[in-house]
Structure 1
Amino acid sequence: MSGRRWTSLIVLLTSMALTYCAQVEDPCKTKSRVVADDKYCDKYWECDNGQSIQYDCPNGLVFAGKHRGVTEGCDYPWRSNYCEYPKVQINPPIGTEHCDWLYGIFGHETSCTRYWTCWNGTATEQLCIGGLLYNENAHSCDWPENVDGCQKHPLCNEDPNGNVPLGKSCNRYWQCQGGYPRLQRCPAMLVFDRRSLRCVVPPTEDCDVPTTTAPPPEEEPQDQRPIPQSKRPVPNEYQDVQSRPRPRN
């Protein structure tokens, strides 16, 4: 390539870079010193020693704003409107075992009650409790009726909407709802009758007085542990996340 053509190419590339940078707000002129990229939601600009420098969010995360998100201003894409059209994630996924991206929350390959939390490519198995199932769309544990495609729990094989005794407990039992068990407790001074399968006034053949002693752990289904009952489940997302140094270009 001749010297003239090489000089023209350099001028063209410089002009393109200046045009692109002009479209992004100068972080050095903002109070936060950090601004989002105007095209890519997994990139952002930060003022560093008076210069506007572009950074990448960790793989799988998008820019959420300074002091927001799970690490260094970056968060999961579904948490809020962080990555709406026409913005896109430009960095391709980097997958590891059980993780589609290095950072994220992903469904289990064989279980509806378990899921994976991935941090820098390391997967940690998590468990939905209290009869909840993992909802791929919500990225959290949810009521079974909101999760399609999962088999019913064997506790509820005989009656998908009936009650099932809980081991030797006199005041706790499993209530099947649509084939999935939810832990219930009889009202005060009542006991669970294993024959009528409902809470009754004692005594019964098995229970004389109500007991508040919790049953041994082995009496509960292996993948169904009790949680406080509520109108809606609390999303069971990855907690206790500590900040990590952000990767730089």
Structure 2
Amino acid sequence: MKLIVLTVPGIIYTYNYFSDAQFKCPGKDGQYEDSRQCDKYYECVDGIATEKICPDGLVFDPLIRKRNKCDQPFNVDCGDRAELQPAQPKTVCPRQNGFFSHEDPAVCNKFYNCIHGDAIEITCTAGLHFDEYSGTCVWPDSAGRQGCNQISNTLKDGFKCPTDGQKDANGNLVIHPKFAHPTDCQRFYVCLNGVEPRDLGCQVGEVYNEESQRCDAPENVPGCEDWYKDEPAPAAQPKKN
């Protein structure tokens, strides 16, 4: 690329001869965005501009108060700077860097963190879907994705998480509420994010206390006092001489 440099007292203007939008360095050194391409920027040193490109998948944010101003697209308002460098896909990564949806559009609870083309698969917390526009896992109605596989919210014994949730003593909604098993004192259920059930159990010798929401001694849980009464007594250990 041919550069034409014009010197004016106190300021040096640098032009890209074949550029449609001729960039002019301001008086202060620094990094400045391109007017049309969001991942392109110019570094001005002593009034001379050097054209640079962010790593594939990242875009330039002139508002970041640090040296490296290339960031994830969901953190940057590109405005009219809609153009980007050609993508450099690798395996499941549409671009070398960034957070991307699973290649199967029906798998909405998994996504990839791509770093220099190497993908790390991540699974959202139970009940959430990945939203590429924010780069985070959100509730399905916020993600608004269509055609997602429905994860079964019913256990084999028929338990489903109550839709009205569960509140603590202060009236706040419990994020991962617990529920006692209707017939088994040792077992209980946990509803992850209030929607995805898990069947869990206390260690042998303890039962689930719904009042304290933890495993407890049988004598502290009305109705479960005799839960282990019929358990065979442990075999006597031979005496050592």
Displacement after TM superposition at 1:144 (Å): 3.2
Larger Rg: 2
Give the match for residue 109 of structure 2. Answer: 113
Displacement after TM superposition at 1:117 (Å): 0.5
Specify which of 71, 77, 82 is matched with residue 73 of structure 2.
77
- The answer to whether the Cα contact below 8 Å between 1:176 and 1:182 also exists between their aligned partners in 2 is no
Displacement after TM superposition at 1:45 (Å): 0.5
Specify which of 169, 172, 190 is matched with residue 173 of structure 1.
190
Name the % identity. 23
- 1:100-122 Cα offsets, whole Å, 9 max, x none, are 11111111134332210111111
Task: Extract unaligned runs of 5+ from structure 1.
Answer: 1-13, 193-200, 209-249
Displacement after TM superposition at 1:206 (Å): 9.0
Q: Is 2:221 the partner of 1:202?
A: yes
Displacement after TM superposition at 1:18 (Å): 8.1
Displacement after TM superposition at 1:96 (Å): 0.7
User: Residue type of the partner of 1:107?
Assistant: S
Distance 2:101 2:120 in 1: 12
Q: Is 2:28 the partner of 1:30?
A: yes
Name the CA shift for 1:120/1:156 in 2 (closer, same or farther; >3 Å): same
Displacement after TM superposition at 1:176 (Å): 7.9
Specify which of 127, 144, 150 is matched with residue 148 of structure 2.
150
- 1:200-219 Cα offsets, whole Å, 9 max, x none, are x93344998xxxxxxxxxxx
Displacement after TM superposition at 1:42 (Å): 1.0
User: Where does 1:36-75 land on structure 2 (aligned, <5 Å)?
Assistant: 36-48=33-45, 50-65=47-62, 67=64, 72-75=68-71
Displacement after TM superposition at 1:187 (Å): 7.3
Displacement after TM superposition at 1:135 (Å): 2.4
Q: Give the secondary-structure state (helix, strand or coil) at the position aligned to 1:156.
A: coil
TM normalised by structure 1 equals 0.56
The count of residues paired between Structure 1 and Structure 2 equals 178
- 1:168-191 Cα offsets, whole Å, 9 max, x none, are 9766622685xx4167x9876246
Q: Is 2:89 the partner of 1:91?
A: no
User: Where does 1:185-196 land on structure 2 (aligned, <5 Å)?
Assistant: 189-190=212-213
Name the CA shift for 1:172/1:35 in 2 (closer, same or farther; >3 Å): same
Q: Give the secondary-structure state (helix, strand or coil) at the position aligned to 2:52.
A: strand
User: Residue type of the partner of 1:117?
Assistant: N
TM normalised by structure 2 equals 0.57
- 1:18-73 Cα offsets, whole Å, 9 max, x none, are 8843xx3415x225x1111112111101024652111011111111127558x921
- The answer to whether the Cα contact below 8 Å between 2:161 and 2:197 also exists between their aligned partners in 1 is no
Distance 1:40 1:206 in 2: 71
Q: RMSD between aligned alpha carbons?
A: 4.1
Task: Extract unaligned runs of 5+ from structure 2.
Answer: 1-14, 163-177, 199-207, 228-241
- The answer to whether the Cα contact below 8 Å between 1:165 and 1:173 also exists between their aligned partners in 2 is no
Which structure has the highest helix share of the two?
1
Distance 2:179 2:131 in 1: 25
Q: Give the secondary-structure state (helix, strand or coil) at the position aligned to 1:146.
A: helix
Q: Give the secondary-structure state (helix, strand or coil) at the position aligned to 1:154.
A: coil
Give the match for residue 102 of structure 1. Answer: 96
- The answer to whether the Cα contact below 8 Å between 2:153 and 2:197 also exists between their aligned partners in 1 is no
